[in-house]
Amino acid sequence: MTGVIDLPSPAQRRALMDSIVIDNPRARAAHGTFDYLVELSGLQPGQPKRCASLIAPAQSGKTTIIDSYIQKLNTHEALMAGEIPALKVTLGANTTRRQFAQDILEAFEGFGCNALVESGTEAQLLRRAANYLVARKVKVLFLDEFHHLVHSDNRKVVMSVSETVKRLLITGSCPIVVAGLEEARKPFSGNAQLAHRTEDHIDLHPLDPTSTADRDLFWAFLSDYLLKSEQVGAGKLRHLLNDDIPACILEVSQGVLGAACNLIKDAVQLAGTKSRMLVDKADLIGATDRAIIKGLYTRNPLRDGLGPIRRRLAPV
């Protein structure tokens, strides 16, 4: 008697793909910068620390790069010893300086600390946050969604933000990495003293289809992503490397790796709703149509052909 194999649901397949992390030159370069900041800080105890900026469009992989580094530093042994080697703080919308301090303290509370988030003045909250950085032996502080801290074009607000970060670097025990959208550049461009404490900007620009290096990077990333998606059981996808499909995915994603992943995840979901493990070009066409409806793109090259810049991707 032949048994019926239960296929994973669309939600299960999406969850499997959300867990995938692809090693790539950009992630390695970013992790190299983080390693440098952590090592330099350890070699200069009690000295002012340095900063790095990871500023790029949405879906460029900023959070994935940070989370994968945190996973490497926050070992089970360190956490059991009460240490938090890498702390990520996700800033909320329209964050004030007071809320900034509270966001840091809330991140500590996520590790079981009683940080008294609502108690104290702005100065007291900032001082408490700095003390926790020392007490829990934080080696690097990540400030994600940093653009939320800069919610005004007012120069006074921008300077206030930059001075807060600079003070944490001077008095804190660890370097800081900020990540966010383009607006997050303001504190660095508006404060020369902070800029002097900052490493070169970590580059996550959208990939350019006219650049051979960028096309090769995208091909390698897409190949690894489709292979790992198959390995975790999300579906059959490697055939999507055929013909002009990779170039079409590059066009629709506008060179943003996270956007390309989301497009493929949507195609996998569409295949899943039809109880198919094989994800075909029609699924990608449907996923692109959904992106167009959401206003994320304007045309469907998978149906209409590649745009003016036609570059077929191929193995390196």
What are the angstrom distances between the C-alpha of 256 and each of 154, 185, 195, 308?
31, 19, 27, 19
Q: Is 247 exposed, middle or buried (0-12, 13-18, 19+ CB in 10 A)?
A: buried
d(CA 98, CA 128): 12
Which residues on neighbouring strands pair with residue 86, listed in sequence order?
Answer: 140
Regions in the chain scoring below 50 on pLDDT: 1, 315-316
The pLDDT of residue 1 is 45
Last residue of one domain, picked from the residues 144, 167, 196: 196
> Which residues does 17 contact at the CB level (< 8 Å), separation at least 6?
229, 232, 234, 261, 264, 265, 268
Copy the structure tokens of residue 52: 């790095």
**Nearest CA to 168 among 129, 198, 213, 219?**
129
Same domain, 60 and 149: yes
DSSP state of 208: P
d(CA 145, CA 93): 9
Same domain, 252 and 146: no
Same domain, 178 and 34: yes
The pLDDT of residue 168 is 87
**Nearest CA to 98 among 69, 77, 84, 118?**
118
Residue at 49: amino acid letter: K
Same domain, 82 and 230: no
Q: Is residue 4 part of a domain?
A: no
Last residue of one domain, picked from the residues 196, 229, 251: 196
d(CA 127, CA 248): 51
Residue at 297: amino acid letter: Y
Q: Is residue 218 part of a domain?
A: yes
d(CA 204, CA 162): 22
d(CA 244, CA 224): 18
Give the domain range for residue 294.
206-304
Q: Is residue 267 part of a domain?
A: yes
Q: Is residue 244 part of a domain?
A: yes
Same domain, 167 and 295: no
Give the chain's length: 316
Which residues on neighbouring strands pair with residue 141, listed in sequence order?
Answer: 87, 176
Report the domain count for the chain.
2
* Residue 206 contacts residue 59 (beta carbons within 8 Å): no
Same domain, 190 and 224: no
* Residue 163 contacts residue 16 (beta carbons within 8 Å): no
The pLDDT of residue 315 is 47
Q: Is residue 18 part of a domain?
A: no
The pLDDT of residue 155 is 65
Same domain, 123 and 79: yes
Same domain, 131 and 241: no
d(CA 101, CA 91): 10
Strand, coil or helix: 286:
helix
Q: Is residue 288 part of a domain?
A: yes
What is the domain-level CATH number for residue 90? 3.40.50.300
Radius of gyration of the chain (CA): 22
Q: Is residue 135 part of a domain?
A: yes
Same domain, 192 and 215: no
Same domain, 188 and 66: yes
Same domain, 106 and 166: yes
Same domain, 144 and 96: yes
* Buried/exposed code over 51-71 (b: 16+ C-beta within 10 A; e: otherwise): bbbbbbbebbbbbbbbebbbe
- The alpha carbon of residue 2 and the mean position of all alpha carbons in its chain are separated, in whole angstroms, by 45
Starting at the edge strand found earlier in the chain, the sheet holding 51-55 runs: 51-55, 176-180, 140-144, 86-90
d(CA 231, CA 226): 9
Q: Is residue 309 part of a domain?
A: no
Copy the structure tokens of residue 230: 């198959």
Last residue of one domain, picked from the residues 196, 220, 242: 196
